Structure formats: structure tokens, C-alpha cells
Amino acid sequence: MKIKYLPWMALFPLTTVAQQQTFEQWLAEDRQAFAQYQAEVTAQYNQFLREEQEAFAVFVKEAGMRWGTDNIWMPEQKRWVQYTETLDERSAVQFEDGLAEVEVIVAPGTSDAEVKVLIANGVENLVLSGTLDPIEMIRRKLFPKSVREANDPDPGPTIPSARSVGRRVKSNAEAPSTTSQPSGYTVKSGDTLWGLSKRFNVSRQLIAEANAISADGWLKVGQNLIIPGQRVEPAAAEATTTSVAAATPAAKPASAKPTANLAKQPLLDRQVAMPDGTPVTRANAREFAESQAASATVQRKTVTGSDNVPRDVVRVAFPLVPDHLRVRAEKFKPIVSKYAAMNGVYPPLVYAIIHSESSFNPRARSHVPAYGLMQLVPRSGARDAYLLVFKQDRLVTDTYLYDPERNIELGTAYLRIIDQRYFKSVEQPMNRMLCSIAAYNTGAGNVCKAFGAGTSLTRAAPVINSMTPEQVYNRLQSSLPYEETRHYVTKVSDRIPLYREWQ
């Protein structure tokens, strides 16, 4: 068999981890740690999974009713999707292909001018937001007092229904009435000027001017604002088409670690540009949105939902900047450097895994379900890593894992578990890395099977130690049980050199 040359191997540090503990000793410690897992937390994980499954079923049913059962946009590892609360507006970003798209259901007889407003609102929602995915949004409505709320940071806002600038444009699902409210407003956790401008039907510039603050700045919880005009459309009125209860914002637990600033940035920060190349920011987002709405790329089509009602839809798509992947990746360099060093993990390996798992999409979500940049599974890898880092067991939810810093902290800790526990008896560092790459995807037991050792780490280690890194690579390629994992080892290995200068 021809041995594949792996150029990154020459760059990998050859320091060997001291073998101070036998596998049997580690196994005894691991069993003791497992015994510490609390039955209550296990029950919370089971409840979380049930809530996920129920929310998913409700989303599929209600989105299918409006868009068609074969036309539902699902959030994926490298595709971010958001819907408004009425499900009449949706947007998606293909992070691997660098394409963003917005679709809006419009009422019959909607004028061209009103269509442009609806499209512009949808584009602005997309480029300025980083909100709940639709399944998360529905779960929070179905289970407002879920056990997960005690474990999560603030969820952030949901996307309001389509609005015009200074006046209301009806979509199929919106209620026509509004309710008067006092012009004073106290800022709550998760509020932004952009979100308040949509809620109160007034531009963020006017709110900023009335309060002598920057239109591009952040608000402070408890801050009192003057809202020009006195009309507000309650969020509850915007959810009349869904059969779920109104959402209740979650309170941040006192012991929670502060969310990194990256978690508050728009998901497409610095990844969309004006025609002259200027990055789209909060200051020029409306201008960009209106230019897209006025472009010739706006398309019209008809969709038929599972209720057999045909609906008119308008669509627009636009590309991300050419180097969008690098722009996203560079945001996480300080975090990767910090936690890779803390856990003794090779930094280019971390980047290569994130690249392969999520294409640097911090809101990545898979069917497993796994979440975030490093695609951690809450009840297994994320739970093990949290126990290692914080010495306590707890429910690690999707919201926790969508935070880039938390995700990378636990992801590198999980790599540490694989490398320094599961494959600690493998003497050659590059062999351990190759086995760790495969185990990150399929589990250590399946890696052992590739070396004819069943699922026994004790029996697999001597076989691996008798091989060169090239031989280990070829064995993994020929003998891993699943084709997906064989491709995964290739992808991650090939991408390690892309980040060798990022150490």
C-alpha cells in the first residue's frame, strides 16, 4: 500500500507526554469520576433532548404549513437559518459557499414599493442579527420554564416580523392592531438599538438622538430610554400564527461566566460589503439592505404549504466577501491560542477541526444534535469536558455551546481528554494526533477497531506504537468502520497546514 506523505507532520512538535499513569489507573479514575455524575443532571439532559425533539416536530409542522413540507430550511453545521416569529420571513447563510439569501411571504396585492420594504427589512435583519435558530426559538416558547433556563446565559432577541420604516407593512400573518405604550423604556438584557427600533417602529438614529447616545453603540441593562412616539407592537401580537406559548426571557444565573463579546456580534460581522467594498455595519446596514431590495436579483415565486394554500414569496440572494472564511476564523484566534495552550493541544489542529466541523459558524447545529464551532454533543463530549474543566457536572445546553469562547474552551478540553486519557499509552505524538482526529468524529472505541483490537484501548496501543505515523494514517484510511470518519481524517489532516502560521 502506498504511504501518503503528510507535510504537517514535520511541523508538529515532537515532545512526548510523560507516561506517569497506566491506562488501568486512568480507567479506575474515570469510573470514579463517572460515579460522581448526578442522576439529577442526567435527568436534565434527557429532558433537554425531549424538548429538542418536540420543538423540532412543532417547527417542521408549522414551517411546512406555510412553506411546504419539502421546502423547509433547516439549520445545519455550515448553514445558519433564522425565521421570524410568524415564520413568514426566513434567511440563511451558506458558510461554505459564501452565499446569503432571504425569502419573505407577501400578502396578495402587495405593491412593488411594499415588497422592497419587506425585502430590505429581511436583509437588514440578516446582516445585523445573530439570533435564535428556529428550533431554539420554538423550544423557548413551548418550555418557558424549562430546566435549561437555569443553565443558560441570556438568549438574545428573536427576529420581529417585517416592518417598514416609520409605518407598518402587513405580511400574511401579522395582526393589524397596535397598542399604545408610554414613551419611556428600561433596557433589558439582550436589547439592542436595532431591536428596539423594530419593536417600536422608529429608527435607531432617532432613538439615539433622543437619548444623546451613539446609534452604533451598545445599551446597558437598566438604562432608561426615551422612545420617540408612543406606539409599540407587543411581541405577542407577532406570534399569532404559531400554536406555542409566548416566550419568557431566561435570567442569567449568578454563577454564569460572562458571555464573550464575540457572542454578541452580528453573525455576518465584516463578511458582507457595500458595492465599493466598505464593510456593512450598523451604520450603513439599512443602505445596504435597500440597495439589495432595489436590485434586479429580487425574484418572485409561489409556494404551497401543507395547508394547500398558495403563497407569494419574494427572494433575494447576495454573496459574502471573497475571504469570508478567513474573516470568521481570525475572530477566534485569541480564544484558540488561549485554550489550546491551556489544554496542551496543537493550535492548527483546533483550527482544522473547526474548519471541518462548522466552517467557523458559531451557530452551527447538526442532527445529532451537536452545537457550535467544534460541534460538541451536550450529553457526551461537552459534559465530559465541562466536568474536566470545572470539576462539576451540569447541563450544557445549545445556548451555552453557541458562545464561541465556551465552545472552544470545552472543545479543546475534550481533545485533551482524547489525547491525554484515551490515547495516553500511544507514545508517538503524531500517532496520538491522528487517532485523536478520528476519535473526535467516531469515538475511541471505533478507532481501536481499526487496529484489530476490538474496542480495547489497552490492546490497540501496542499495535499503534509499532507503526510510523504514515502507517497509522493508512490504517485509519483502510480500516475505520465508517466512510465518514475516513473522509474526516483526510479533511482535518489536509487542513492543518493552512493554519500552521497561526500558532
- 105 three-class SS: strand
Whether the pLDDT of residue 144 is over 90: the answer is: no
Q: What confidence tens digit (pLDDT) does each residue in 339-383 have?
A: 999 999 999 999 999 999 999 999 999 988 999 999 999 989 999
Q: What confidence tier does 23 reach under pLDDT thresholds 50, 70, 90?
A: low
Gap between the Cα atoms of 268 and 359, Å rounded: 13
- The answer on 370 and 224 residing in a single domain is no
Residue 342 lies in a domain: yes
Residue 462 lies in a domain: yes
Assigned C-alpha cell, 101: 439569501
Angle, in degrees to the nearest 10, between helices 429-442 and 483-495:
130
Q: What confidence tens digit (pLDDT) does each residue in 233-287 have?
A: 333 333 333 333 233 233 333 333 444 466 678 889 899 999 999 999 989 999 9
- The answer on 206 and 249 residing in a single domain is yes
Gap between the Cα atoms of 187 and 483, Å rounded: 51
Q: What confidence tens digit (pLDDT) does each residue in 98-126 have?
A: 999 999 999 998 998 999 999 999 999 99
- The answer on 400 and 259 residing in a single domain is no
Assigned C-alpha cell, 342: 491551556
Whether the pLDDT of residue 181 is over 50: the answer is: no
Gap between the Cα atoms of 131 and 120, Å rounded: 18
Residue 52 lies in a domain: no
Longest dimension (CA), the chain: 77
Of residues 433, 405, 412, the one with CA closest to residue 340: 412
Query: What secondary structure does DSSP assign to 263-301, as a single string?
Result: GGS-TTTTT-B-TTSPBP-TTTHHHHHHHHHTSTT-EEE
Gap between the Cα atoms of 265 and 326, Å rounded: 17
Q: Is the dihedral of CA 420, 421, 426, 431 positive or negative?
A: negative
- The answer on 245 and 226 residing in a single domain is yes
- The answer on 141 and 24 residing in a single domain is no
- Residue % of the chain over a pLDDT of 70: 73
Whether the pLDDT of residue 38 is over 80: the answer is: no
Assigned C-alpha cell, 339: 485554550
Of residues 425, 449, 428, 452, the one with CA closest to residue 439: 449
Cell 450603513 sits on residue: 284
**All residues at 6 or more sequence positions from 290 whose CB lies less than 8 Å from its CB, including other chains:** 116, 120
Gap between the Cα atoms of 29 and 44, Å rounded: 24
Domain boundary among 319, 352, 385: 319
CATH code assigned at 33 = 1.10.530.10
**What is the reported pLDDT for 494?**
96
Q: Which domain holds residue 84?
A: 57-319
Residue 143 lies in a domain: yes
Query: What secondary structure does DSSP assign to 151-172, as a single string?
Result: T-----PPBPPP--SSS----T
Between 44 and 5, where is the model more confident? 44
Residue 50 lies in a domain: no
- The answer on 275 and 127 residing in a single domain is yes
Residue 2 lies in a domain: no
- The answer on 286 and 202 residing in a single domain is yes
- The answer on 361 and 305 residing in a single domain is no
Assigned C-alpha cell, 297: 436579483
Domain boundary among 263, 286, 319: 319
Give me the mean pLDDT over the 471-500 stretch: 96
Question: Is the separation of the CB atoms in 393 and 378 below 8 Å?
Answer: no
- Strand pairing report for 79-83 and 89-94: antiparallel
Q: Which amino acid is at 209?
A: E
Cβ neighbour number for residue 411 with a 10 Å cutoff: 29
- Count Cα atoms within 13 angstroms, Cβ side, for 48: 25
**What is the reported pLDDT for 104?**
96
Q: What confidence tier does 158 reach under pLDDT thresholds 50, 70, 90?
A: very low
Q: What is the mean pLDDT of the chain?
A: 81
Query: What secondary structure does DSSP assign to 464-477, as a single string?
Result: HHTS-HHHHHHHHH
- The answer on 137 and 17 residing in a single domain is no
Give me the mean pLDDT over the 330-335 stretch: 95
- The answer on 271 and 203 residing in a single domain is yes
Give me the mean pLDDT over the 70-93 stretch: 94
Domain boundary among 319, 350, 385: 319
**What is the reported pLDDT for 15?**
45
Residue 403: DSSP 8-state: S
Gap between the Cα atoms of 229 and 19, Å rounded: 70
- The answer on 370 and 314 residing in a single domain is no
Question: Is the separation of the CB atoms in 305 and 72 below 8 Å?
Answer: no
End-to-end CA distance of the chain: 34
CA dihedral 9, 13, 15, 21 (to 10 degrees): -70
**What is the reported pLDDT for 503?**
73
Residue 1 lies in a domain: no
Per the structure, the count of domains in the chain is 2
- The answer on 37 and 134 residing in a single domain is no
- Count Cα atoms within 13 angstroms, Cβ side, for 146: 31
